[in-house]
């Protein structure tokens, strides 16, 4: 739902324009002066401002100037009195989207409003796309000659053109978000937004606000109206990662959105309709979560219309040379090392690793090696790993312990090892506790207890 701010010192005009625009389904806010309008502009996610040219105090031209300083792309329609065409031309030169001369008819106003909000939606989408490199999500850049990955690529081609909900499953680091983006960019919705949200690590009320938005004053700290991810993703795709971490109470609201295609912002009873495709991902077994009472069975079947399960890297070892080539080329460009390459011994070592963190861990390992290597050649000594290579199918317990003091007793020794493992897991997973807990093989709540126990900060 697009939001329009109407600024006019004449109450009758504010009321008339509000009713005309509101009847067309736009959300309308009003201000009786430019001075009162600017806080709304700064605090609200607006799609259009309609302002009178002649007002006491700060006039429409000054308001236009202030709006353009704050947000150069936000469209402004100026309303002028008959005979003030020269001022209107100056306003257009200053960045106004259009101007209307009093008296104007309803159709003229609504056509101008529709053009303005459509233009702004296009501008915002272009800005978003500049920060995305859509080629990254083409199949050519999703690396995998393994039969399992080839099957995934084939399924994406079949799934993408549909509107059905998709559930992507697999271990952390297998590329679930990349697959979600591939589905979006190969779908008819590719020109509309792809909006992502990780459901892990946010308190319930903040997650609800992120999903559905909130009205100003809906809760402590809600100082402005904010649109939620569903509203922003309208006509596009929304990707909810770590869906298994969503609180059970929010699952009911998500189910309603899927069933009715409507929701309300926090603090509002006004339903908002949306047309979005939902793609979700999880590294949990949702059927087990259902059995434990942590996940709604009816929601599971709504989400799991189509399922894609991504294999762990250790089950497609044949793809490691391809992945190594891809990431070496990537970091060669980033680090200005055009001759960067890898030795055969180092490549054989990569093929023997277990890669519990999958492709994410693999990429990080290549990046570190690319930075550390001498003479543009990645050697075995440049590959820093937390776990030794597999031997007879079992991971050898890690790394040297020479760095630990010799005078530690057993409890102190175990505490130091535990703290190091937690710090490394948090770093490897960008401080996302749910991912770190999975890597460590413990629950998220136990991880939180141990972080507190060892006084581990984000800077650790």
pLDDT in tens, 353-369: 989 999 999 999 999 99
Residue 419 has pLDDT above 90, yes or no: no
- Looking at the structure, tell me whether residues 230 and 258 fall in a common domain: yes
Residue 389 has pLDDT above 60, yes or no: no
- Looking at the structure, tell me whether residues 57 and 192 fall in a common domain: no
Q: d(Cα 444, Cα 438) in Å, to the nearest integer?
A: 8
What band does 385 get if pLDDT is binned at 50, 70 and 90? low
- Looking at the structure, tell me whether residues 320 and 363 fall in a common domain: yes
H or E segment at 341? strand 341-342
**401 found inside a domain:** no
Q: Which domain holds residue 377?
A: 314-395
Q: Taken in order 115, 117, 123, 128, is the CA torsion positive or negative?
A: negative
CATH value at residue 305: 3.40.50.300
Query: Lowest mean pLDDT: which of 250-259, 403-412, 414-423?
Result: 403-412
**So what's the pLDDT on residue 418?**
84
How many distinct structural domains can be found in the chain? Answer: 4
- Among 268, 296, 311, the domain boundary falls at 311
CATH value at residue 326: 1.10.8.60
What band does 399 get if pLDDT is binned at 50, 70 and 90? very low
**240 found inside a domain:** yes
Q: d(Cα 317, Cα 330) in Å, to the nearest integer?
A: 20
- Looking at the structure, tell me whether residues 147 and 270 fall in a common domain: yes
Closest CA to 277 of 227, 324, 327, 237: 237
**So what's the pLDDT on residue 405?**
67
- Looking at the structure, tell me whether residues 369 and 424 fall in a common domain: no
For the segment 333-346, the average pLDDT, to the nearest whole number, is 90
What band does 448 get if pLDDT is binned at 50, 70 and 90? confident
**So what's the pLDDT on residue 133?**
38
Query: Lowest mean pLDDT: which of 48-52, 145-149, 324-328, 413-417?
Result: 413-417
Residue 397 has pLDDT above 70, yes or no: no
Average of per-residue pLDDT values in the chain: 87
**302 found inside a domain:** yes
Per DSSP, the residues of 365-409 read HHHHHHHH-STTEE-GGG---SSPPEETTEEPPPS--TTS-TT--
- Looking at the structure, tell me whether residues 318 and 307 fall in a common domain: no
**So what's the pLDDT on residue 394?**
31
- Looking at the structure, tell me whether residues 161 and 284 fall in a common domain: yes
Per DSSP, the residues of 228-280 read -HHHHTTTSEEEEESGGGS-HHHHHHHHHHHHHSEE--BT----EE---EEEE
Burial status of residue 172 (CB atoms within 10 A of its CB: 0-12, 13-18, 19 or more): buried
**350 found inside a domain:** yes
Residue 275 has pLDDT above 90, yes or no: yes
- Looking at the structure, tell me whether residues 108 and 221 fall in a common domain: no
Q: d(Cα 55, Cα 32) in Å, to the nearest integer?
A: 9
Residue 140 has pLDDT above 50, yes or no: no
- Looking at the structure, tell me whether residues 265 and 382 fall in a common domain: no
User: Which of residues 215 and 141 earns the better pLDDT score?
Assistant: 215
Residue 148 has pLDDT above 80, yes or no: yes
Residue 131 has pLDDT above 70, yes or no: no
**So what's the pLDDT on residue 459?**
66
Query: Lowest mean pLDDT: which of 66-70, 130-134, 143-147, 373-377?
Result: 130-134
**So what's the pLDDT on residue 303?**
97
Would you call 98 helix, strand, or coil by DSSP? strand
**233 found inside a domain:** yes
What band does 4 get if pLDDT is binned at 50, 70 and 90? very high
For the segment 100-104, the average pLDDT, to the nearest whole number, is 87
Query: Lowest mean pLDDT: which of 67-71, 126-130, 236-240, 289-293?
Result: 126-130
pLDDT digits (tens, 9 = 90+) for 239-248: 999 999 999 9
Burial status of residue 294 (CB atoms within 10 A of its CB: 0-12, 13-18, 19 or more): middle
List helix spans (H) across 310-441: 320-334, 344-352, 358-372, 410-428, 433-440
- Among 294, 311, 328, the domain boundary falls at 311
- What the block records as the tokens of 336 is 């200005």
The answer to whether residues 2 and 91 touch, using CB atoms and an 8 Å cutoff, is no
- Looking at the structure, tell me whether residues 270 and 228 fall in a common domain: yes
What band does 217 get if pLDDT is binned at 50, 70 and 90? confident
**459 found inside a domain:** no
CATH value at residue 11: 3.40.50.2300
Q: d(Cα 373, Cα 351) in Å, to the nearest integer?
A: 19
**210 found inside a domain:** yes
- Looking at the structure, tell me whether residues 425 and 379 fall in a common domain: no
| Integer CA distances (angstroms), 8 to 199, 291, 362, in order | 42, 58, 59
CATH value at residue 444: 1.10.10.60
Residue 203 has pLDDT above 70, yes or no: yes
- Looking at the structure, tell me whether residues 139 and 285 fall in a common domain: yes
Per DSSP, the residues of 65-83 read HHHHHH-TTS-EEEEE-TT
Other C-beta atoms within 10 Å of 145: how many?
11
Beta strand segments in 60-216, E: 76-80, 98-101, 166-169, 194-198
**238 found inside a domain:** yes
Residue 201 has pLDDT above 80, yes or no: no
Q: Which residue has the tokens 């004053």?
A: 217
**So what's the pLDDT on residue 421?**
87
Q: Taken in order 285, 290, 296, 297, is the CA torsion positive or negative?
A: positive
- Among 395, 418, 442, the domain boundary falls at 395
**So what's the pLDDT on residue 429?**
78
């Amino acid at each position: 739902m697009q939001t329009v701010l109407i600024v006019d010192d004449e109450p009758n005009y504010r009321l008339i324009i509000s009713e005309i625009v509101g009847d067309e389904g736009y959300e309308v806010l009003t201000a009786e002066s430019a001075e009162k309008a600017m806080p709304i502009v700064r605090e609200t996610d607006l799609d259009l401002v309609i302002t009178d040219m002649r007002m006491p105090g700060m006039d429409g031209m000054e308001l236009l100037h202030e709006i353009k300083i704050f947000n150069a792309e936000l469209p402004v329609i100026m309303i002028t009195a008959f005979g003030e065409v020269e001022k209107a031309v100056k306003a257009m030169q200053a960045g106004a989207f259009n101007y209307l001369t009093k008296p104007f008819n309803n159709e003229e106003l609504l056509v101008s409003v529709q053009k303005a909000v459509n233009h702004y939606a296009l501008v915002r989408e272009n800005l978003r796309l500049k920060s995305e490199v859509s080629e990254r999500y083409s199949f050519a850049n999703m690396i995998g000659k393994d039969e399992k990955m080839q099957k995934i690529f084939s399924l994406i081609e079949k799934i993408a053109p549909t509107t059905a909900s998709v559930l992507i499953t697999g271990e952390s680091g297998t590329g679930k978000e990349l697959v979600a983006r591939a589905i979006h960019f190969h779908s008819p919705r590719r020109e509309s937004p792809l909006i992502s949200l990780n459901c892990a690590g946010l308190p319930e009320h903040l997650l609800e606000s992120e999903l559905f938005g909130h009205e100003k004053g809906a809760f402590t700290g809600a100082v402005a109206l904010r649109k939620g991810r569903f509203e922003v993703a309208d006509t596009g795709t929304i990707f909810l990662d770590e869906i298994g971490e969503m609180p059970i109470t929010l699952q009911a609201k998500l189910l309603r959105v899927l069933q009715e295609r409507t929701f309300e912002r926090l603090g509002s009873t006004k339903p908002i309709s949306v047309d979005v495709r939902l793609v979700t991902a999880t590294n949990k077994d949702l059927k087990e979560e259902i059995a434990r009472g942590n996940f709604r069975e009816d929601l599971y079947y709504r989400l799991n219309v189509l399922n894609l399960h991504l294999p762990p890297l250790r089950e497609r070892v044949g793809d490691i040379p391809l992945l190594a080539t891809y990431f070496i080329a990537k970091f060669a460009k980033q680090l200005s090392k055009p001759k960067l390459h890898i030795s055969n011994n180092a490549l054989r070592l990569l093929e023997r690793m277990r890669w519990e963190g999958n492709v994410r861990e693999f990429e990080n390992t290549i990046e570190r090696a690319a930075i550390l290597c001498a003479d543009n050649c990645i050697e075995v000594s440049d590959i820093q790993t937390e776990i030794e290579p597999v031997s007879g199918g079992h991971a050898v317990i890690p790394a040297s312990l020479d760095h630990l003091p010799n005078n530690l007793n057993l409890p102190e020794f175990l505490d130091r090892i535990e703290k190091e493992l937690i710090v490394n897991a948090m770093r490897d997973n960008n401080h996302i506790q749910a991912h770190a807990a999975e890597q460590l093989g413990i629950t998220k709540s136990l991880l939180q207890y141990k972080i507190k126990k060892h006084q581990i900060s984000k800077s650790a």
